[in-house]
Structure 1
Amino acid sequence: LRNALLSSISHDLRTPLTSIEGAASALVAMGGEGKELAETIYGESLRLNLQVQNLLDMTRLQSGEVRPRIEWNSVEEIVGSALARSRELLGDRPVTVHIPSDLPLLPVDAGLLDKLFVNLFENAAKHTPPGTAIEISAKVGTEIVRILVADGGPGVPRGQETAIFERFAQGGSKGEGLGLGLAICRAIMRLHGGRIWVQNRPEGGAEFHLEFPKPKAQPEVPVG
């Protein structure tokens, strides 16, 4: 009953939020004296829309409704898509992507992985000051493929490295958001037989590690 209620509320909220987001975007494009105010409305509507979507996603993940559509996908393409969707949330934070050319294709659900990265980027935007650099990289091991998302912010409060992946955890922020983003990231990784964890970097900032089982083979590429 609780999941059904949350799902219904989430659906009902998305329609007016989408209208607000669209109207604010149009006002930003028009420019004029109210542009700065319109940009604020647009940015906050994007964040609220993401929170509502997270609430809907969490109820679906909890109920077992989500069945991953596993296909061979390029990590670089998924990251690029998520970055494009997160452009407004990240603002002026510079992003560097270092994906090695020998990184194998992964058997994953591209849509779910896109959600995962969007939530990681939103988390970085929420916990770092404007202008903070974000770095995305990947490594290939003997049995795993590891993707890292790091930032130059204040890092994770000591002792909270595991707790921040629980539902409704705030990760040190002052009540901003529902605290579902990282819980969704963990649930998505588990659906793919992988895991996610975080550690603070010696030079400062948080570094999220995503570990996927390394495929034993790659898909055959048709010749001709």
Structure 2
Amino acid sequence: MSTDNWQRTILDAKLKLKQKDFDAAEALLLPATKSNNVSLQASAKRVLAELKGFQDDMRSALEILMSLPSEELEVSDFVKQLELCRKLNDDKVLNEVLAEFEQYTKTTLKDDHQKISTAFAILEEHIRLGNVEKSKDYFESLTEKYRDLGVYDNHFVSTRGYPFLYSFLLLAKSYFDAFSLQDFKPWLDQFSSSLDDFGKTELASFVKNELKD
């Protein structure tokens, strides 16, 4: 089958999926998942994983995403795999996915902006898993990068691929809380010295909303 015909088949499968005709969608997708064209194969597998998700077959969805051709992997594929691992309460596989995600970030990602958002997501998982040393490394690295920003207006921050400052402060709090660290408020005081007026306003809002005690 030609590339154009494969692409049309995948579009037809998406339409069947939207119509909740799962059997018809799967019948269209399965041959495409075996295509020698790895790009088409990956596209078909992503749609098939979505279909399995609609059917609440999270394990199959995860296995399909984990079988994506390595050269076609994207950040969103890892994020979805981690989400499925959490839903399945499968920390063993989650650790495997996380290790692959970290390696992918180091060896494949070229965009520094993307590296920030992926580091953020990876730190969240290490905190949840209780990985102390990994969490410390990622947290210290992200803290340095946020300090170096200089401008903390939400638009400026987002255009550089960073989650908003408020989100980072929430993550920082979860890091200190998870490992029973006692020096969060002194850390906040020290961190605030690098903030501009917008950043200090965000910090004040964070303190008011999140540190009520």
TM-score, normalised on structure 1?
Answer: 0.29
Larger radius of gyration: 2
